[in-house]
Amino acid sequence: MNKDKVICCIKDFFEEKHVNEVIATIKECQVSGWEGWMQVEFAHYLQKKVYKNQKTNFSWYREYKVQSSGENHIIPDFWISSDEYEMGYFLIEFKRSNSGKLEDEMQVDVKKWRDHISINKGKLYCPADKKTHNNLGVFFVGVDTNPANKELYVEGVTLENYGKQSQYRIDFLSMI
């Protein structure tokens, strides 16, 4: 996939009737702790609706550990392979909130990746396979059932926004 295809994939996921119905129930019943559900639903969506019918060889991984500095690790929610760069991946970090504080929650991940990139540039070293991959960018995807629609700001980071902020937001930290 390329960046535009990943954006389209995320947007299409949030247009799924089932996903919208469940998020509406989460809001109505004030369910907490549903980030894992969203990640499982996205994995199912990737496998059954995106990759199933692809003619080219794409891959995606879930929670594949990246060494950041020393003993520190980051575990992105998803890795999506690129069809344009060998050993290149787009990363996705999901966040959820019911309190209008989504942007505060997302800042934690943005800062974590900003720090990783300042040390490792565009490289992702994975201790599991002892390989270094290319980081093509990180998508920060968030849903808040009670959105405040604040700007997501982290010093030293420029993010591109692609989501419908009243329903979900997609912010992208580019590496290319």
Domains annotated for the chain, with CATH where assigned, are: 3-174 (3.90.1570)
Tell me how far apart the alpha carbons of residues 122 and 133 are, in angstroms, rounded to a whole number.
8
∠ Cα 8 6 120 (to 5°) = 150
Query: What is the structure's pLDDT at 159?
Result: 78
Task: Give the residue-averaged pLDDT of 157-171.
Answer: 74
- pLDDT above 90: residue 151: no
- Tell me what the pLDDT averaged over the chain comes to: 89
- pLDDT above 70: residue 114: yes
N-term to C-term CA, the chain? 14
- pLDDT above 70: residue 56: no
Which is more confidently placed, 66 or 167?
66
Task: Give the residue-averaged pLDDT of 58-79.
Answer: 91
∠ Cα 19 174 36 (to 5°) = 30
Task: Give the residue-averaged pLDDT of 95-100.
Answer: 92
Query: What is the structure's pLDDT at 176?
Result: 67
At residue 122 the predicted structure's pLDDT band, cuts being 50, 70 and 90, is very high
